[in-house]
Amino acid sequence: MGNPRSQSPSGDNLLLALCFVTLFAGVSAASSAYISSYVLDQLQSTDALVLLVTDGGLRSDSKDLEKNMSTATAALLAVRDFGLALSVGCAGIVVALGVRQWRISKG
């Protein structure tokens, strides 16, 4: 049984891609936790007495809370985009590993 890295040059690229996706997953998870915490803090704010959801967005009697909720909405959109990008990257890694394993077992 030889060194798995000596089997093909694509193995090095696959390992590098796996490292990048793992790093991106860690950053994405930390960002998601921070952004979720921020949104929850804003939702539990005692600064505002009234928070209305309208077609034009959120309206509040506190301008600071209104601004923070707009920022939180944009942050949630970023978390959604991070999640989609990470899932596409992970799917690509899984397909590449499956193809590589199939080629190794085939011949």
Cα distance between the two ends of the chain? 15
Which pLDDT value is given to residue 29? 80
Find residue 58's DSSP bridge partners. 53
Sign of the four-CA dihedral 20, 22, 28, 30: negative
Q: Has residue 81 been placed in a domain?
A: yes
With bands split at pLDDT 50, 70 and 90, how would you rate the model's confidence at 1? very low
Q: Has residue 29 been placed in a domain?
A: yes
Please state the domain count of the chain. Answer: 1
Distances, alpha carbon 104 to alpha carbons 51, 87, 89, 99, in Å: 60, 26, 23, 9
pLDDT at residue 95 tops 70 = yes
Residue 80 structure tokens = 């959604």
* Domain of 27, in residue numbers: 19-106
Q: Has residue 62 been placed in a domain?
A: yes
For residue 29, count other CB atoms closer than 10 A to its CB: 13
